[in-house]
Amino acid sequence: MNLMPFAQDTYAVMGNPISHSLSPAIHKIFAQQTGEKLDYQAIKVPLEGLESAINDFQKEGGKGLNITLPFKQQAFALMSQSSERATVAQAVNTITLQSDGRLIGDNTDGIGLIRDIQRQQESLHDKRILLLGAGGAIRGILGPLLAEKPVLVLIANRTESSADYLASAFKRQGNLHSSSLNAISGQQFDLIINGTSSGLTDEPLALRERLLAPEAWCYDLAYGGQLTAFLRWGQQQGARKCVNGLGMLVEQAAEAFYIWRGIRPETSPVLKLLQTR
């Protein structure tokens, strides 16, 4: 294949599916806000095609990539070097493509979630937290979340063995347990975070009743115009508030922009703009 070099510094998000991604819009607003000259694209990658897609993008002179579902763990395995937070997560969502061909991996999901939770003046300290899912996003947020010292974290996943694996891999960092999705019962949580990709198809999760403690709230990493099936469930169960992952998306993008360009964009105006779209 004949690849044409990009005319300006070019970044992209790679995933499958990708048409829902707001990352190109967010990075273009960051570029305008900071006066940085760059382009940012969305690239749909075949499920077996991550490595060749990254190689092609690099040959065209691409400067950096965000990686989204379902590729974050695969991406980690392709890196020449990874940051500590990506190594702990064994998942990469931000890649810097160096001119010598080296791929430097990082993971900004965890810091993105924590900054969004802090913006909402919520604390995780001493809280009982239920995490739904055990994919790339949950891997990215587990370390930063445990660093906030919750009293207990239960990871529940459709494929129970993946939840068991994460609970064991992170057990030194906190009071962690694992379960299958439909076996959680007899416990109540102060915060339930949905990190499954069921939101993409708006499929409801098979969750039991009475999982929410008084004053509990729900956070869905998925984002979009409408309440997700999980957040609708949270409302029905009496959650104090139900929040989607738009704030996290903007925060993790800001951290990636900082890694690539050395400038930290302001996130609040971008979030406000996206919320009114």
- What are the residue numbers of the active site? 72
Phi, psi dihedral angles at 216 (to 5 degrees) = -70, 155
Coil, strand, or helix at residue 74?
helix
Nearest-CB residue for ligand NDP: 135
Binding segment for ligand NDP (CB under 6 A), chosen from 1-9, 31-39, 64-72, 231-239, is 64-72
- Is 196 an interacting residue with respect to ligand NDP (CB under 6 A)? yes
Give me the helices (H) in the chain, please.
23-34, 50-59, 72-78, 84-89, 109-119, 136-147, 160-169, 229-236, 246-261, 268-275
CA 56, 57, 63, 67 dihedral sign is negative
Nearer to ligand NDP, 148 or 202 (CB): 202
> Does 110 sit near ligand NDP (CB under 6 A)?
no
Number of residues in contact with ligand NDP, rule: CB under 6 A?
31
Q: For residues 101 and 269, which CB has a smaller minimum distance to ligand NDP in the complex?
A: 269
User: Half-sphere exposure of residue 23, counting CA atoms within 13 Å on the CB side?
Assistant: 25
Give the x/- contact pattern for ligand NDP in 214-233, rule: CB under 6 A: -------xxx----------
Q: Minimum distance from CB of 60 to ligand NDP (Å)?
A: 25
Query: What letter does residue 6 receive in the DSSP assignment?
Result: P
Question: Can you read off the two tokens belonging to residue 137?
Answer: 């996003």
200 is an interface residue for ligand NDP by CB under 6 A: yes
Q: Does 75 bind ligand NDP (CB under 6 A)?
A: no
Tell me how far apart the alpha carbons of residues 107 and 84 are, in angstroms, rounded to a whole number.
9
Task: Report the interface residues with ligand NDP, using CB under 6 A.
Answer: 69-70, 72, 109, 112, 133-138, 157-159, 162, 181, 195-200, 203, 205, 221-223, 245, 248-249, 252
